[in-house]
Amino acid sequence: MSENPTALVAHGGNLHEAAVRYGIAWDTWVDLSTGINPHGYPVPPVPPTAWRRLPDDGDAFAACAARYYGAPDARHVLPVAGSQAAIRALPALLRSARVAIAPLTYGEYAPAFARAGHEIVPLELTQDTLPNTVTHAVVVNPNNPTATHLAAARLLHWHAQLASRGGTLIVDEAFADAFGHERAETLAHATSREGLVVLRSPGKFFGLAGARCGFALGAPALLAALRAHLGAWTVSGPARHAVTHAFEDSAWQSEMRVRLATESARLVALLRAHGFAPHATPLFAWITSPRAAALQDALARRAIWTRRFDAPASLRFGLPASEDEWQRFENALEEAVRAIG
């Protein structure tokens, strides 16, 4: 499994690029290229002190996150500038070795580990036992983009194997919030164990991607090393304000999970009606098709932007933000499928 560690990783959300490529004004598109909740948390007004003062680790932000995620306590939670910051930094803190990563998963992991001198090998998500030649492993759960969801028991079994070799299991749970803690198979509660790191992000479920806030959950010694590597003030005062309110608003969370489940079912039904077999989380659906590139292009010519993958040829669809966007997408999908034959 070879990766170019210096190459830019493609992501969804690149709407300006699509607008230029297709000559369609940026503000006229329906952007389905990310798995970010289009019904974001309604952040209350930011107090002026959040802008004027430096972020203060004594503000109980980590403790708030520990309560929300079910981590053992605040010592096992490190706020970071989006989980992306931890993804980039963690490989350098682990001893160079062979790391298993699924061939189709969030694309930042393999280059980050390669830059730090690790050897990347493919991870088969259905296996019960990891090869004894693997020291570290990365699992995105549920996986992005395939929506594969692994049971906590399997992940803990893998962790035990790796920990016995002095290795580490990193579990990225960026899309877990949309399921609710009782269904997410989260390992947040187990992060007192050495060799286990869980990454969480309020950007997806809460629709707060612009806050650039995330959390690394793990043993205090590793988090201390990560904190030293990243430096001070990793999460801004306004972001801390927004995320704290979101974490404490359990009524909004419950209502939103119901809404997302309904909209996800609508998206799945729409794709099935056109002959596809989608795999889905509450925030996105993924289909494989040999005509994926043609379908993405046909939708783009109708100002609908999606996320394409090449191996296998596939597309990921996020949720429309309004009934008007749903209607535009439904009409465009019908025309696009007809156009590509």
Q: Looking at residue 66, what is its pLDDT?
A: 98
Q: What is the CATH number of domain 15-40+251-340?
A: 3.90.1150.10
Tell me the percentage of the chain whose pLDDT exceeds 90: 92
pLDDT in tens, 160-184: 999 999 999 999 999 999 997 666 6
The pLDDT score that the predictor gives to residue 1 is 45
* pLDDT value, residue 333: 98
Closest C-alpha among 118, 83, 99 to residue 5: 118
The pLDDT assigned to 58 comes to 85
Q: What is the pLDDT of residue 57?
A: 85
How far is 139 from 162, CA to CA, in rounded Å? 13
Amino acid at 312: P
Task: Evaluate whether 217 touches 191 at the Cβ level (below 8 Å).
Answer: yes
Q: What whole-number distance in Å separates Cα of residue 3 and Cα of residue 102?
A: 13
Give 104-154 pLDDT, tens digit per residue: 999 999 999 999 999 999 999 989 999 999 999 999 999 999 999 999 999
Find where tokens 């949309």 sit: 178
The pLDDT of residue 183 is 64
Q: Can you list the residues of the chain whose pLDDT is less than 70?
A: 1-9, 181-184
Return the domain boundaries, the chain.
15-40+251-340, 48-249
Asked if CATH classification 3.40.640.10 holds for the domain at 48-249, the reply, yes or no, is yes
Residues 6+ apart with CB under 8 A from 315: 286, 287, 289, 292, 295, 296, 306, 307, 308, 309
- The H-assigned helical ranges of 1-151 are 15-22, 48-52, 61-69, 83-93, 109-115
22 forms beta bridges with none
